[in-house]
Amino acid sequence: MAHDHHHHDTHGPAHEHGPAHEHGHGHTHDHADIDWAEMAPHLEAQAELYTPLYRQALAWLAREVTEPGLVVDVGSGPGVVSCLFAETFPGARVVAADGAGPLLERARARAGRLGFADRFGTLAGDLPGALSELDYPADLMWASQSLHHLPDQRGALAALGGHLAPGGTLAILEGGLPARFLPRDIGIGRPGLQARIRAAEEDAFAEMRADLPDSVAETEDWPAMLTAAGLKHTGTRSFLLDLPAPLSDAARAYVVTSLSRLRERIGDGLDADDLATLDRLLDPADEAGVHRRRDVFVLVAHTVYTAVRPA
Ligand SMILES: C[S@@+](CC[C@H](N)C(=O)[O-])C[C@H]1O[C@@H](n2cnc3c(N)ncnc32)[C@H](O)[C@@H]1O
């Protein structure tokens, strides 16, 4: 029952200084080649910008899940959404679980700033194994864009399900529609640049998954995977972030950072013309660049799948 969890001290030392803490530097072998700690400012700014989308998703969840005692954010990153859970469910304890200690530091700082420190804890360690340090089963688990970084996604779902209370809900955010920032024809280069960037990103994603140690190939049918993990799929819904032009400074900065990161990650997958166009887009002095042009927008959809552990 939810009220059984109210005295659960998720902020205890075991969660922050346990044996798993050594995984918390973000660039260990567990995380392939991604340096999560280095991404902290971007992840935090992104989650802050996406807050209207998360609020819609949480409002939808709150219709299904009432008064959870323990909410666990699996692969929380800097804890922006973990804190939205604390706000949405004022009676809940919230645990942010992640492999990157510096991101969890940000999560704790945010929870402190927002006044949730007394019912907010962090759990540092490799997922999903680190969840065995939870003292109680969760009434609600949220995993946003973290499962696809784990080698065995189906196995991870089963493990998450094992840490749910009977009747508890697992909500995963995966897939949807990729973020779009620019019209098809931007007046420079060959039209359709963003679609070609996306194609290169899909290849990089496949490579990222294949390079994870002990990676298991999986058809990305989330309802089927949830069912295979012994859970009952209860809902699927997509939520839109629609920030039309002209963008706020924060949104524009997010677009600049996103495109710069893409340039670094998948630049090799573009032809010379597209690369030249992308470089113009990223040049702060270029009138046609994303720092200055007026037509830049952010449009993205994320899909949330919910499932319940049978009572
Ligand atoms: C793309 S970020 C998502 C962050 C946040 N949930 C969000 O939606 O903004 C993926 C997160 O998963 C964490 N992560 C990836 N692989 C992990 C692993 N094997 N164990 C623990 N955490 C992991 C990373 O540290 C990172 O914070």
- Residue 197 forms part of a structural domain: no
- Residue 88 forms part of a structural domain: yes
**Judging by beta carbons within 10 Å of its beta carbon (0-12, 13-18, 19+), is residue 15 exposed, middle or buried?**
buried
- Residue 40 forms part of a structural domain: yes
| pLDDT score recorded for residue 34 | 86
Helix and strand counts by DSSP (H, E) for the chain = 10, 7
- As a whole number of angstroms, the distance between CA 163 and CA 184 comes to 45
* CA-closest candidate to residue 254, choices 298, 211, 294, 208: 298
Task: Answer yes or no: are the C-beta atoms of 174 and 223 closer than 8 Å.
Answer: no
* CA-closest candidate to residue 151, choices 173, 171, 122, 126: 126
The CATH number covering residue 153 comes to: 3.40.50.150
Protein residue with least CA distance to atom 23, ligand 1:
99
Decide: 36 in ligand 1 pocket, CB within 6 A: yes
Decide: 75 in ligand 1 pocket, CB within 6 A: yes
The ligand 1 atom at the shortest distance from the C-alpha of residue 26 is 25
Protein residue with least CA distance to atom 15, ligand 1:
149
Protein residue with least CA distance to atom 7, ligand 1:
144
Q: How far is the CA of 115 from the centre of ligand 1 (A)?
A: 24
Q: b/e map of 91-127 (b: 16 or more CB within 10 Å)?
A: ebbbbbbbbbbbbbbbbbebbeeeebeebbbbbbbbb
Strands, E assignment, the chain: 70-74, 93-98, 120-124, 138-144, 164-180, 232-243, 298-308
- Residue 269 forms part of a structural domain: no
Decide: 98 in ligand 1 pocket, CB within 6 A: yes
Query: Which tokens is 129 given?
Result: 């194994």
The ligand 1 atom at the shortest distance from the C-alpha of residue 151 is 19
| pLDDT score recorded for residue 193 | 98
Q: Which residue range(s) make up the domain with 86? A: 36-179+216-244+301-308
Q: How many domains does the chain have?
A: 1
Per-residue pLDDT of the chain (311 residues; tens, 9 = 90+): 333 333 333 333 333 333 333 333 333 444 457 899 999 999 999 999 999 999 999 999 999 999 999 999 999 999 999 999 999 999 999 999 999 999 999 999 999 999 999 999 999 999 999 999 999 999 999 999 999 999 999 999 999 999 999 999 999 999 999 999 999 999 999 999 999 999 999 999 999 999 999 999 999 999 999 999 999 999 999 999 999 999 999 999 999 999 999 999 999 999 999 999 999 999 999 999 999 999 999 999 999 999 999 99
- Residue 30 forms part of a structural domain: no
* CA-closest candidate to residue 280, choices 269, 270, 292, 268: 292
Query: Strand 298-308 vs strand 120-124: parallel, antiparallel, or unpaired?
Result: unpaired
- Residue 126 forms part of a structural domain: yes
Query: Which tokens is 122 given?
Result: 């962090």
- As a whole number of angstroms, the distance between CA 297 and CA 291 comes to 12
Query: Which tokens is 75 given?
Result: 């692969």
Decide: 78 in ligand 1 pocket, CB within 6 A: no
- Residue 196 forms part of a structural domain: no
Decide: 141 in ligand 1 pocket, CB within 6 A: no
Helices 272-281, 249-266: inter-axial angle, 10-degree rounding: 150
| pLDDT score recorded for residue 281 | 98
- Residue 296 forms part of a structural domain: no
For ligand 1, pick from 36, 48, 83, 214 the residue to mutate: most ligand atoms within 8 Å of CB: 36
pTM: 0.90
